[in-house]
Amino acid sequence: MRRWALGALGAGVLAWPWVAPRYFVFLASLILVNAVVAIGLNLLSGYTNQLSFGHAGFLAIGAYAAALLTIHAPAIPVVVTLLLGGAITAVVGLAFGVPCLRLGGLYLSMATLAFGFVVAEVILNLDALTRGADGLRVPAGRIAGWALSTDTARYYLAAAVTAVLVAGAVNLTRTRVGRAFLAIRESEVAAQASGVSLAAYRTAAFGVSAFYTGVAGGLFAFVVGYLSPDAFDVFLSVDFVVMIILGGLGSVPGSIMGAAVVTVLHDWLAAFQNFRPLIFGAILIACMLFMPGGMARALRPLGRR
Amino acid sequence: MKAALEIEDVSVYYGKRRALERVSVRVGEGEIVTLLGANGAGKSTVLRAVSGLVRPTGGRIVYAGRDITRWPADAIVAAGIGHVPEGRDIFPEFTVLDNLLVGGHTVARRELAGRLESAFELFPLLRERRRQPAGTLSGGEQQMLAMGRALVARPRLLLLDEPSLGLAPMLTREIFRVIRRINQSGVSVLLVEQNARRALGVAHRGYVLETGRLVVSGASRDLLEDQRVQTAYLGLRPPTEGAREGG
């Protein structure tokens, strides 16, 4: 049943560009990008209880890193560019995570919120490199001499990268490291009493989370083709939080579902920009009240049948 | 007798509130020592200080000749101190097996299978339930799991926090039987209990805590006769101000 469902999902993802109109191919790419961010954020917030309101900042770092690499070193294959973008973001995440160890709960969220603002400011002010508020046009990534210049090509790139990262996240939770992450989520005291180092795993979670988000940033740069600092505002960070709370904290499938719903809702609500925070805020509150485990938990009984 | 653990003049504050005031407890190699006292007397705090979950503001804790007072919790586990926290504190969404595997976090991969095997030998029920989510176990089974999880790391000293809390008498007997068996395999035990009669039945020596201070200590036999122990055990003492830390 599970294998069958996964197969159907895979076939659907592969066939999508052949059945859907071009715009919906682009939209699906965005869903994939957001799914990777949501998984990354969930590794941090859902697994080690560190809620971040600054992931738009990590996304921006990955996006600008990938864009600048492509502009200045066009010979690098796109996959390597994405990995480098992820690695750079991971280093920033680790550097940010260490001082954050001393902060808990609300203070940590405030620090991440501030981080998001700082990143946007830095991008604005480094205009020699980033072209500041004018924005940066991202050239098509290249892979084996072939330019990814169509929506379909970029979609397949995003799908392949997402598949690898999803597999990584699912398997992470089956390893000693992943179990330690989840143990911290379940009970910090019992995790510590079992010999799990809270400090080490919390820092590691920042690194892994930033890596995922950085890679997603690179994908975002290629998919959208144009970067400007105002695309990475605090509302985007809040959207990511909505994705994981709606989808389910600590759940990889939940992250993907949450990302899909929020991305599609965004698209539908494009004409009602001013109501966006209102609607998403309402979703957030409703989830916490009526569906604390998110869609992942609400749908679990169906999967067991 | 050589000391497995020496707690010397340890004080702990939660913010401004005093939880422990210059408490000294000694656990000899191979001994079972019990800490008795009413709710909020600071019993759990002693265990939490030993396993590095709270930092003492004064005093020192020496384990196997090493001063571990400022060690991080994970290093203390790796050094051979196992802590079964109060309220079981298992990982409810994990399977029984995954709970035990987390207990083996500090154990080398090639030794893990053997460690699991010995936990299953001690608690055969856990083997039957190994694929079951831990949250679906009964209270007694969860207690066994919490103990099994700590034992996977093969501690030399086991800290047990209220293992009989909320258990039916039959299960309590079973848990205490296992405690004795663990001890006979050479593990020193520091046992926190509200069930004083049972605790003194299994322990060699005991200490009685009242609002963060030691009031009496001695051999279990003598403590069973002690008037103050009777009072603490019966819970007749009025609850003291600010003492709300749950054991």
Domain residue extents for chain B: 3-88+155-234
Per CB-CB distance under 8 Å, the chain A contacts of B45 are: none
**Which range (A126-135, B125-134, B155-164) has the least confidence?**
A126-135
**Looking at per-residue confidence, does A202 or B236 come out higher?**
A202
- Other beta carbons less than 10 A from residue A87's beta carbon: 17
Note whether B204 and B33 are within 8 A (CB). Answer: yes
Of A304 and B87, which is predicted with more confidence?
Answer: B87
Closest CA to A141 of A156, A120, A125, A123: A156
Contacts of B83 in chain A (CB under 8 A): 193
Q: Which domain holds residue A189?
A: 21-232
**A195–B91 C-beta distance less than 8 A:** no
Tell if the CB–CB gap between B102 and A180 is shorter than 8 Å.
Answer: yes
- Determine the 3-state secondary structure of B105 from DSSP: coil
Token pair 């000293």: residue: B157
Does the pLDDT value for residue B67 go beyond 90?
yes
Each residue of A88-139: pLDDT tens digit? 999 999 998 888 877 877 888 889 999 999 988 888 888 777 787 777 887 8
Task: Give chain A positions within 8 Å (CB) of B92.
Answer: 186
Cβ burial, residue B141 (10 Å; 0-12/13-18/19+): buried
Q: What is the pLDDT of residue A129?
A: 79
Strand partners, B67: B62
ipTM: 0.84
Number of domains, chain A: 1
| B102/A192 touch (CB, cutoff 8 Å), yes or no | no
In a domain, A273, yes or no: no
Residue A197 in any domain: the answer is: yes
Question: Can you list the alpha helix ranges (DSSP code H) found in A174-275?
Answer: 176-186, 188-193, 198-224, 234-247, 252-268
What architecture (CATH level 2) is domain B3-88+155-234?
3-Layer(aba) Sandwich (3.40)
What is the mean predicted confidence (pLDDT) over B36-59?
90
> Residue B152's closest chain A neighbor by CA?
A194
The yes-or-no verdict on residue B241 having pLDDT over 60 is no
Judged against a pLDDT cut of 90, whether residue B99 lies above it is answered with: yes
Instruction: Judge: B53–A195 Cβ closer than 8 Å, yes or no.
Output: no
Reading phi first (left if > 0) and then psi (alpha if -120 to 50, else beta), residue A203 is in alpha
Residues 178-217 of A with CB under 8 A from B: 179-180, 182-183, 186-187, 189-200
Average per-residue pLDDT for chain B: 88
Asked if the structure places residue A162 within a domain, the reply is yes
Query: Is A89 a member of any domain?
Result: yes
Band (A84; pLDDT cuts 50, 70, 90): very high
Cα separation, B86 vs B163, in Å, equals: 7
Q: How would residue B6 be classed by pLDDT, with cut points 50, 70 and 90?
A: very high
- Contact in structure between B28 and B4 (CB atoms under 8 Å): yes
* For residue A34, pLDDT beyond 90: yes
pLDDT tens digits along A266-295? 888 877 777 877 888 888 888 888 887 778
Specify the pLDDT at position A292. Answer: 77
Binding-site residues on chain B for chain A (CB distance < 8 A)? 51-53, 72-74, 77-78, 82-85, 89-94, 98, 101-103, 105-106, 146, 149-150, 153
